[in-house]
Structure 1
Amino acid sequence: MHAPVISRPYEPALFARAARLERHRVAPGGLTVVELAPDDQLELIDVEGDQPAELLAFDDQGRNALAALGLFADPSADYIAGLLAGHSADSARMRLGLARCGIRGETLGSATRLWPAQTPAGHARTLRASAALVVLVAAPAAPCAVDSQQRASELRLLITRANPRALLTPALPEPLGEVIDEFTLAPGTARDYCVAPGQYIQVLDVAGRQCSDFVALDRRGLDAGREIELDPTVTRTLNGSAYPGPGLFSRFYDRQMRPMLEVVRDTVGRHDTFGLACAARYYESQGYFGHPNCSDNISRTLAGHGVQARPGWAAINFFYNTAVDAHQQLTFDEPWSRPGDYVLLRAMTELVCASSSCPDDIDPANGWQPSDIHIRVYSAQERFSIAMATRKTPDAEPVLTRQSGFHPGTSALTGQFIDYRGWWTPTRYDGHGAIAEYHGCRERVAVMDLSALRKFEVLGPDAEALLNYCLTRDVRKLAVGQVVYSAMCYEHGGMLDDGTLLRLGPDAFRWICGEDYAGVWLREQAQKLGMKVWIKSASEQIHNIAVQGPLSRELLSRMIWTPGTQPALTALGWFRFLTGRLDDYDGCPLMVSRTGYTGELGYEIWCHPDDAMKVWNRLWQLGEPLGLVPLGLDALDSLRIEAGLIFAGYEFCDQTDPFEAGIGFCVPLKSKQDDFIGREALLRRSANPQRKLVCLQLEGNEQAHHGDCVHLGRAQIGVITSATRSPLLGANIALCRLDIGYCEPGTRVEIGKLDGQQKRIAAQVAASTVAYDPDKTRVRA
C-alpha cells in the first residue's frame, strides 16, 4: 500500500498558499509602517547584516506603546524622529499618514534600537503584539562617500497573523496618487467605467495569480453610434510583432490605428498574447455548461452603453500567463503575479472601459483559486514614472525601474531608453546614432552610463577567503588598488555571472557584476561556511560612467585630482583603480578604474549619485573640444563584439562554463591551489570540452543574429551568440559557440536562416575571438 502523493511545490510569496504571512520591505534609510492586531507576530530580519534597526509603536489612542511589544525606549534612537521632522515631501507624507492614525509629532516619544552593531546577515528578532498597534520600522542610514564601504541596507518584515480569517485578502497597497474612482471586482464579475484623456487606470491583482480581462471603446465613437475598440492585429503590427508573444505592448491601438492606451508601469512582466477573454464555448468544450465567463460578463456590463454583445471579446488579458511553444501552440500556466502586483495605463483618448475578475477555476489560469481584482482611476494631473519591476528573489519586494544620477544628462540628449536590468539605459542618442557613436569611441572619446552594474561591498576578516572560494580567480594574488576580471560559477560549472573585483583594503573588496542575485549567493555561501564577512549592496549609492576611446586619458587627466598616496590618472595601469576628487582637493570624491567594455583605452568613473551631474557636466565641458560623444547600448554592442567581450544571456548562461563562454583564461585550474565552487566540474569539463566560443567572418552583406543555427551540411554544429556589422572592418562578424571539432581557424561553416535549411550564409572561423585589435594594443596603450 502506498500513501497518496501530495503536491507541495515551493511557491514563495503566494498569498493563497500562506494566508497568515505578510511580507514588507524597509528600504535603506527608509521607514515602513505596518499595523498589528493582538497576538500577531512580527519578525524583523537584517537581510545583509550590520544594519541598525529602529522601531516605534503606538496604540489605538495614538500613544507610545513599545511595551505592548515587550520593548523599552532608547533615548539615543533618534533616526525616526529625524525622518518625520524633515522638510522633504516624503517626510510630509509620512506625517500626514500618521496623523490619519491619530499619531502626532508631539506624542512620538522615544524609539528603540532592536539589536547591536555588527549583526550577521539574516539576523532576526521576533516580537508579539499584546494589543492593536501601529508600528514604524526604520533602517537608519548616513551619507557614504564612494570610497567608503559602510553602506546602509534593507530590512525585511514578516508578519504572521494570529487571525487570518479576518484577512480574507491581503491589505490593498497605498494609492499611487489622487484617486478619481476605485472599486473591487469579485471573481466572476465585471464592471464598466469611463476615463478621460490623460487619466490613469491601475489594475491591481489583490491576492496574486488572478487574471483580469480588459476592453476599451472610444467614447466619442459610441456617442456617434460606432463601436471602435482595441484591436489586437493593429496593435501587434504597429508594435512590430508579427506573431503574438507574452508580455505587454507599450501602446494599444484601435482598428483605425489611433492610440488608445499606453502602458506606464507593469510590475509582473508576463501577460497574455492579447487573445480572447474566456468565453462560454471554452467551458462548454471542457464539460462545464453554464459556467460564468468574462466575455458574457463584459457584454452585460457594456450593454448600458449600447454596445453589442460578443460571444468572445478580444481583450488585454492582464496577468494571464500564456506562451507560444515550439510547435506554435498556445500554452498557459499559473500567473506570475504576486499580491499587490499591478499594471498602470494612461488613457490617450476618452474611453469606456470594462474590467473583469476571471472566474476560471477549472485549470491553472487563476492559480486554481480565483480572487479579487481592484481597479483605481487616477487624476490626469498625476505624473508617474515609466517603469517595470524586478525582484532579486521570487519572494522579494518588486523594485521599479530606476534612473541613475546621470539621467538628467542622458535624457537631455535622447528619449531612446530601455529597461536594462532594472535601470533606464540609453540605446542611442538623437543627432548621433549607433554608427556615429561607435566611430566616436574608436577615434576620439565617448561616455556611457553604466550605472545598471551591480556593486557589492564584501567586508570582514573572511572576505578574501569567501571571494577566493566563490570566484574562479586566485583572489589571494590581488593587490590593494588592483582589479581582476573573474567568473562566478555554480557547483556544476555553469556560470552565475562574470564581473570585476576591486581590492580596497586587506579585508575590503568590491564585486561589480550584472546579476542582483550575486549578493544573495555570496551571503548564502558565507552562511554555509560560518564565515565572518558582510556582503552589502551598494548599487543605489554608487553610480558609474565609462569614458572610453583613444583620447580618454587626455580628457580625464584634466579633471581628476589625486592625493600623493594615489597614482596620478596618467600613471594608472590597466586593471588598476585610484581614489581621487573632481578637479581639486575640494571636489567631490571619485574612484576611477582603468577598465571598460569596448576594447579601447578607457576608464570608468564611480561616484555617489548626488555627485553624478557634477561629473557629467565637467566631462562635457572639457570633452566637447576633443570630440566627445555619448555612447548607447546599440553602439556598445558592436564595440564589445569586435573586442570578443562576452554578454550574459548571449555568450553564457547557467548551462555554459567559462571555457565554453570564451573566458577560460580566468579559470587558473593549475596555478590556483585553493578549492572554489565548481572546481571539480570545471576540471571534468576542461578535460572533455564539447563546445568553444569562436569568431566567425561572414561572406557578403547579410547579417547573422543571436540564436541563428550554424551548420555543416544538414547537421547543426553551433549557434550564434552575438553578431554585428563591423564599421571599421567593413564586414559582418559573429561570436559563435561551436562544436569543438570545427574550431580550427579557416574552417568553413554555414549560418542557417529561415528554417536553417532553406537559406545559408557562408562563414569561416577566424584566428581569434577578438576581431578588432586582437593583440589588445589599443586597450593597453
Structure 2
Amino acid sequence: MNMKPVFETPFERKGVITPGTPILPHGVERHPVPGGGSRAVPIYKGDEISILDRDGLQPGELVFFAPDKSSDAAYLGAKGQGRPEATITTLANGSRSGAKVLRALDTAGFNLGKGDGISIFAEGSRPGDMESFVAERDGLLIIAATGGPMSPERHNTTTDLILYIRRADPAAGKEDVGPSDPLADPILDFNIQPGNATSYEVKKGDYIQVLDVKGRECSDFQAFSMRALDKGLEREIDPTTTRSLMGSLYPQPGIFSKYWSSDQEPLIEIIQDTCGRHDTFGLACTARYYEDLGYPGHVNCSDNINKDLDQYGIRPRGGWPAINFFFNTMLDDTNAIGMDDPWSRPGDYVLLRALTDLVCISTACPCDIDPANGWNPTDIQVRTYKQNEDFSRSVGYRKSAEADVEDTKKTGFHDCFARHTRDFIEYNGYWLPNTMTNHGSIAEYWGCRDKVAVMDLSPLRKYEITGPDAEELMQLCVTRNMKKLSVGQVVYTAMCYEHGGMIDDGTVYRLGETNFRWIGGNDTSGLWLKEQAQKRGLNVWVRNSTDQLHNIAVQGRHSRDILSKIFWTPPQQPTIDELPWFRLAIARVGDVTGTSVVISRTGYSGELGYEIFCHPKDAVEIFDAVWEAGEEHGIVPLGLGALDLLRIEGGLIFAGSEFDDQTDPFEAGIGFTVPLKSKEDDFIGRTAIEERKVHPHRKLVGFEVEGGVIPSPGDCVRIGKAQVGEITSAMKSPILGKVIALGRVATTHADPGTAIEIGQLDGQQKRLKATVSAFPHFDPTKERVKGNYN
C-alpha cells in the first residue's frame, strides 16, 4: 500500500537546529524496534501503520489482535501466513523488549500461538524500504525484527526496524509528550509543574527516578539524612564534599557514583543516567539571581524549597546548594562559570538509590530568562521504587545526536572479567574492566609483556558491508587500496572526511569477494559508510553487527601456543601456527563440531597477539577455554588502564588523543595507511590529504621527558615562550624506566633530538625538560609483534 512516508526532522527555528528534539508530522508516533527484539503498540481503527527498514535485509513479522482476542491479517488489509513462528522465536530469546511484549500479551489474555502472522521484508529489502498498512479495527499490534544469533564468519546480523503510526485520531495516541512508562511498579509517582517544589520520604535501599518529561528542563534535588534530622541535625548532600571524595564535578554510575554529606556519610548513589550532563557545584536558582537581572519577585527554586521543607523544621536558606539535574553549567580555563541549554531530551532521567532513610525534595525550575531551561520551563516527573527491583547500572549512550538513547551494555565476556574485578568503567556504551583486583595496571602490563594477557575489546564497532558494490564503497571510504586485499586478509587503515580530517582508524576484514567487515572505534565511521552508500546510490548494505560479534584479545609471547591448543581450522584455512600477521582464519573450538569463531592475528599491545570474535552467547565458553589453556603460562586478565600503557609504548594512536576530525593521517603518525602512489583510485579526502602532505604543519612525534613527572594530555609543548605543540598521551614506561610521551609539534621542531619544554600550570610557570624522539619508544621494528622474542 502506498502512503505518504513519515520521517522525523530536526527541530529548527530561525537557523538554530536541535537534532536531539526531532519533530514528527502532526498525529504521527515513532516506535523503534530493536534488531532481534519486538514492540507491542495499541492501534485504533483507521490508523496508518508504516514500518521502515533503515539498513535493509532485516525481515520482520506483524501480528494483530482485536479486543475479542481474534487475530486476522485481514484486520490490517494483508494476507497472513498463520502461526507467527518467527515472532514466537523472537519473544523467546530472553530480550528485554520481548519480556515487555510477553507481559502485554499476558495482561490482555492474547494467545500468540493462535495469531495470524504477516511477514514483511521477507524477500530482502533495500536500506530505507518501507511497508504500510491501515487498521480496519482497534487492537494490539505486535511487531518483531526477527533473526537469530549471527555466525562470526557470516553477515546475518539483525538491525532495527522503525514503526511509524499516523493516528486517524491524534488524541487517541501519544502524540503529546507525557511521562514515559515507569521502570517498574512505583511507590510514589507525581508530577511537578515549573515553579514548584515537592518533598517526599524515601526508605533506605529504595530508588528515586527524576525524569525530564519534555526535555531541556532543570530539576534541583536535595536529600537529608532522616537519622540526622531525628537528632535535630541538618545533614544534606554537600557538593564540595562530594566533589572531593569522588574526584569529579558530577558523579557517574559506577564505583564513583555517590553523593555525600558534610559528615562524609554517603546519602545516595546514581544507578542510571541517560543524560550525563548535570551540575553539582551551583545553587538552586535564588531570589537574588533574578533581582540582580532586574526581575524582582520572580518565583525561584530556593524559596520553593524553603516553603516545602518547613514541615520538617529545616531552616530556610537564601540559596540552596543542590544537585541541579539537567542543568548545563561548565567551568572555563579561567574558572568562570557559564551555562547553556540543557543536554536532556524528552524522557531523559536519573535513577538514584537511597543509602539511608531520606527526606528528599525535587523542583521543576521556573527560569525563563536564560538558556537554563531552553527558554521554556516544563514539568518534571518523580517516581520512587522498592529496593527489591533489579536495576542495572547504566549511562545513556547515543550513536549520534539524532539516535535513540541506549543503556550501557555488558559484553558477552563481562561476567568472566567480573570474576577478577569490580572496577568497570563506561566505554562507548559498554562496561569494560579498568583494573583487576589483586593485580593493578602495572602487574597486568607486565603480564602481557612477559607472559600472556586476555582483554575485552567487544565495544569495537563492527559493521558488515555486503553486496555487489561493497568493494567500491570501501575503496571510496578508506585510505588503503581494497583492490589489493585478498579474501582472508586484514588491513589497518584510516577513514577521512573530505577536508582530510580523520573520522576513525580501524581494520578491514575481507571475508569474501563482496563481503567486508569494518572494525573501528566509534559509530561515526559506520554511519559515514551508510551515508556514502546512500548518497552515491551504490548497491551495497551497511549493517551494524557490534552486538552480534564480541571479541577478546589474547596478547603476549605465549598467545600462539594457547590458541593452537584450543582451535581447529578446516583444511582450506591456515592453522593458528600458520596464521601470518594481519590475516584471519575461520576456526572452531576443538574440532569440526565445535563453536565457530573468527580469529585474526591483530592486536593493540605491541606484542604477538590475536583477536577472537564470537557471538555473545558463546563468550563464556571461549573465555574459559582460553583461560584454562593459558593457566600454565601465567595468563592474566588485563583492563583499560594497562592497555593504555601498552599502546603508548607501542606508538599506537587513540581517537581523541592522537587524532580527531581536524587531524589528517600524516599528522596522526599513520601516513603509511595512505598509499597515494600505489592507490590510483580516488577516495574521500584524497585531494586535501595530498595538499596537506606537501605542506604539513604538524607532526606526531615521541618525547623522552626528564624527571619523574608525567605530563597530562593537552599540556603545551614550548620552545622558549612560543607554543609549538601539545601532548596527546604520556606515561612512565615500566620497561624503559623513564617518562615518555606522544604529541603533535610544528614540523619545524619535529626532528629527533630537538630540545623542548612541556608547560604546566599556565604553561610558563612550570616546565618539564624533554627531547623529541622517534616512536614507537618500545620495539620500534615490531619484532615482538612478529613473534621474535629474545
TM-score (norm 1): 0.95
Q: Does 1:774 align with 2:780?
A: yes
Per the TM alignment, residue 32 of structure 1 is displaced from its structure 2 partner at its CA by 0.9
Question: What is the rounded CA distance, in whole Å, between the counterparts of 2:693 and 2:227 in structure 1?
Answer: 68
The 8 Å contact of residues 246 and 322 in structure 1, kept in 2 or not, is answered as no
SS state at 2:548 partner: coil
Q: 1:594 to 1:103 in 2, by over 3 A?
A: same
Task: Report the alpha carbon displacement of residue 303 of structure 1 after superposing the two structures with TM.
Answer: 1.4
Q: CA deviation at 1:192?
A: 0.9
SS in 2 for 1:569: coil
Structure 1 equivalent of residue 525 of structure 2: 518
Instruction: Please tell me whether the aligned partners of residues 83 and 113 of structure 2 are also in contact (alpha carbons under 8 angstroms).
Output: no
Rounded Cα–Cα distance in structure 2 between residues aligned with 1:607 and 1:131? 45
SS where residue 301 of structure 1 aligns?
helix
Q: Which shifted more, 88-97 or 517-526? A: 88-97
Query: What residue number does 2:8 align with?
Result: none
Alignment of 1:500 with 2:485, yes or no, is: no
Note if 1:587 corresponds to 2:594.
yes
Change in Cα spacing, 1:746 to 1:86, as seen in structure 2 (3 Å) is: closer
Residue 220 of structure 1 aligns to a residue whose secondary structure is helix
Superposed CA offset, 1:661-707 (max 9, x none): 00010011111111111111111111110000000011121111211
Counterpart check, 1:140 vs 2:117: no
2:271 aligned counterpart, secondary structure: strand
CA distance in 2: counterparts of 1:407 and 1:294, whole angstroms: 42
What residue number does 1:197 align with? 204
| 1:728–1:92 CA distance, 2 compared to 1 (3 A) | closer
From 92, 117, 129, the equivalent of 1:111 is 117
Which of 255, 259, 269 is equivalent to 2:262? 255
Q: Per the alignment, do residues 536 and 96 of structure 1 end up closer, same or farther by CA in structure 2, a change over 3 Å counting?
A: same
Which amino acid in 1 is paired with 2:449?
R
The yes-or-no answer on 1:175 pairing with 2:182 is yes
Q: Tell me whether 1:536 sits opposite 2:543 in the alignment.
A: yes
Distance 1:89 1:398 in 2: 15
Deviations 1:100-153 (A, max 9, x none): 3x3411685302123342211122234455554432211001232211111111
| Corresponding residue for residue 326 of structure 1 | 333
CA distance in 1, matches of 2:178, 2:132: 22
CA 1:19–1:739 in 2, change beyond 3 Å: closer, same or farther?
A: farther
Report the alpha carbon displacement of residue 396 of structure 1 after superposing the two structures with TM: 1.8
State percent identity of aligned pairs.
49
Instruction: Tell whether 2:714 aligns with 1:707.
Output: yes
* Match runs of 1:309-324 below 5 Å: 309-324=316-331
Residue 6 of structure 1 deviates from its aligned partner by 6.1
Q: Is the contact made by 1:334 and 1:366 (CA closer than 8 Å) also made in structure 2?
A: yes
**Alignment partners' CA distance in 1, 2:520 and 2:160:** 20
* 1:524 positional shift: 0.9
Contact 2:209 2:351 in 1 (8 A): yes
Instruction: Identify the residue that residue 152 of structure 1 maps to in structure 2.
Output: 158
Is the Cα–Cα contact under 8 Å of residues 251 and 270 in structure 2 kept in the other structure?
no
Number of residue-to-residue matches in the alignment: 773
Residues 396-434 of structure 1 show CA distances to partners (whole Å, capped at 9, x for unaligned) of 221111111111110110111111111111111111111
Q: What is the deviation of 1:164?
A: 5.3
Question: Per the alignment, do residues 624 and 633 of structure 1 end up closer, same or farther by CA in structure 2, a change over 3 Å counting?
Answer: same
Question: Is the CA contact (8 Å cut-off) linking 1:246 and 1:321 kept in structure 2?
Answer: no
Report deviation, 1:372: 1.7
Quick check: 733-742 or 295-304, which moved more? 295-304
* Partner residue, 1:548: 555
2:216 aligned to which of 198, 205, 209: 209
8 Å Cα contact 1:15-1:207 kept in structure 2: no
Secondary structure of 1:521's partner? helix
Worse-matched range after superposition: 38-47 or 191-200: 38-47
Of residues 118, 124, 128, the one that matches 2:130 is 124
The equivalent of 2:465 in structure 1 is 458
Gaps of 5+ in 2: 1-11
Task: Provide, for residues 357-386 of structure 1, a one-character-per-residue CA deviation record: whole Å limited to 9, x for no partner.
Answer: 111222222122222211111111112111
1:294-325 CA-to-partner distances (Å, cap 9, x unmatched) read 11222222111111222211111111111122
Q: In the alignment, is the contact (CA less than 8 A) between 1:247 and 1:272 conserved in 2?
A: no
> Are residues 1:282 and 2:275 paired?
no
Superposition map of 1:63-74 within 5 A: 63-64=70-71, 66-67=73-74, 69-74=76-81
Q: In the TM superposition, what is the alpha-carbon distance from 1:37 to its structure 2 partner?
A: 4.6
Q: Secondary structure at the match of 2:309?
A: helix
Give the CA deviation at 1:20: 4.8
Gaps of 5+ in 1: none
User: Which residue of structure 2 lines up, in the alignment, with residue 663 of structure 1?
Assistant: 670
Q: Aligned with 1:137: secondary structure? A: strand
1:22 Cα deviation after fit = 3.6
**Cα offset, 1:83, TM superposition:** 4.3
1:316, 1:532 → 2: CA distance?
Answer: 51
For 2:756, the equivalent position in structure 1 comes to 749
Aligned-pair distance for 1:38? Answer: 5.2
- What is the deviation of 1:76? 6.8
CA gap of 1:516–1:172, structure 2 versus 1, over 3 A, is same
**Which residue in the other structure is 1:738 paired with?**
745
Alignment match, 2:643:
636
Q: Deviations over 1:472-498 (max 9, x none)?
A: 100110001100000010111101100
Q: Corresponding residue for 1:618?
A: 625
Aligned CA distance change for structure 1 residues 366 and 602 (closer, same or farther; 3 Å): same
SS in structure 1 of the partner of residue 518 of structure 2 = strand
Tell me if structure 2 keeps the 8 A contact 1:405–1:609. yes
Instruction: Find the residue that maps to 2:78 and give its secondary structure.
Output: coil
Q: CA deviation at 1:643?
A: 0.8
Compared CA separation, residues 76 and 536, structure 1 to 2 (3 A):
farther
| Pair 673,607 (structure 1): closer, same or farther in 2 beyond 3 Å | same
The answer to which of 678-687 and 322-331 deviates more is 322-331
SS of the residue aligned with 2:577? Answer: helix
Counterpart in 2 of 1:354? 361
TM-score when scaled to structure 2?
0.94
Structure 1 residue 171: deviation in Å?
Answer: 4.1
